[in-house]
Amino acid sequence: MKDTVMDCNAVFPDRITACSAAGRLTARLLRPAWQADAPPLVVLHGISRNAGTLARLFAPEAERTGRTIIVPHFPEQTWPNFQRPSKAARPDQALLALLDKIAADIPGVSGPVDIFGHSGGAQLAHRLAMLYPHRVAELHLVAAGWYCLPDETMRYPYGLAPGKDMASAKWARRKRAALRDFLHLPTSVYVGTQDVTRDAALRKLRALDAKQGAHRHARARTYVKALNAAARAAGLPARARLIEMPDCDHDVVRAITQNDLATRVLDARPSGISTSSRTIPQIQGDPT
């Protein structure tokens, strides 16, 4: 996975660490000077684990929109797997504990959150939302390598039909239990029109290619269609949309710096940029 800007470890004074049965997880916390009446945004990195870069690129958006932005970091050493809750790793539990810690520590930052995930982070984001739709307000998925489709004709983990083993049957059952609530979520799926490379990081299986497409661009289209079809089948409004980024490949930094991805994500929620919703902190004794 490519990044045109190196992770610079810029100074972000607020870091928060939460412990859970799944392990420790630390996040950068971007807290704007003013607080909009909108949920926090969680930004999940992909397998390049570029949390510092993402935090730096999203920082101006936190200030512009008054949104608290939370950027967790899953280090390679302690989180070799983080894209999918499984027996091997439970990033979902670590994230829940992190959100609980933030809600406990910071007044006004509680309730469901918006989630942005790029690549492997988008994999985690949509799986987290499938398990805990009550903790998510909106989803912004950018170029996941593959998806868990809301489709009971495909075996887990690619769909929701029980797999061959007990573990996959259990995970599929859990996601089916939350499916209706998950389908309610407004979901934006972003992908570059040039994200068509079958690079080394892309999972390549004949069945996956056949069902979801040969590359990330095709798989994003498949996913949006599947989400909306499942919603309609459940009698719900179709709330998934595909947003294609012209001339953009899989580089998230380029998507943010050249295609205004971060701005588009934050502006997807109108209340986040409404000046009328601003709460300007006042200095005690200020005559205003």
Partner 1 sequence: MTLSDILEQAKWTFSTRRVDRTRVAATDTDFATARPGDLILAHVDRIGQHRRVQLPSGRPSLIFPGDAVVMACGARYAPDQFEGLAEIDPAGADLLAGGGCIGRMVARNSQIRPATRLVPAARLLDAAGRTVNLADFALPPRHSAPRPPVIGVLGTAMNSGKTLATAQLVLGLRRAGFRVGAIKATGTGAFGDYNEYSDSGAHYVGDFTDAGMVTTYLEPLDRIKTATGTLLAEAGHRGCDLVVMEVADGVLQRETAGLIGDAWFKQLVSGLVFACGDAVAAMGGVAHLAGLGLVPDALTGMISCSPMASHEARVATGLPVLTKEDLSDPAEATGFALRAGLGRKEAA
Applying CB under 8 A, the residues found at the interface with partner 1 are: 20, 85, 92-93, 96-97, 99-100, 131-135, 170-171, 173-174, 177-178, 180-181, 184-185, 236-237
Smallest separation (angstroms) from partner 1 to the CB of 131? 5
The strand ranges marked E within the chain are: 15-18, 25-30, 41-44, 69-73, 113-118, 136-142, 187-192, 240-245
CB of 34 to partner 1, least distance (A): 27
Is the Cβ of residue 87 or residue 206 nearer to partner 1 in the bound state?
Answer: 87
Give the nearest distance from C-beta 273 to partner 1 in angstroms: 24
Compare residues 180 and 264 and give the one whose CB is closer to partner 1: 180
Q: Between 93 and 277, whose beta carbon lies closer to partner 1?
A: 93
Decide whether 82 or 132 has the Cβ nearer to partner 1: 132
For residue 1, give both structure tokens.
């996975």
Contact status, residue 184 vs residue 236, Cβ threshold 8 Å: yes
Nearest-angstrom CA–CA distance, 105 and 206: 47
Does a cis peptide bond (omega within 30 degrees of 0) precede residue 72? no
Amino acid identity for residue 257 in this structure: T
Smallest distance from partner 1 to CB 91, Å: 12
Q: Which is nearer to partner 1, 235 or 270 (CB)?
A: 235
Q: Tell me how far, at minimum, the Cβ of 172 lies from partner 1, in Å.
A: 11
Q: How many residues does the chain have?
A: 288
- Burial class of residue 235 (count of CB atoms within 10 Å of its CB; 0-12, 13-18, 19+): exposed
| Type of residue found at 225 | K
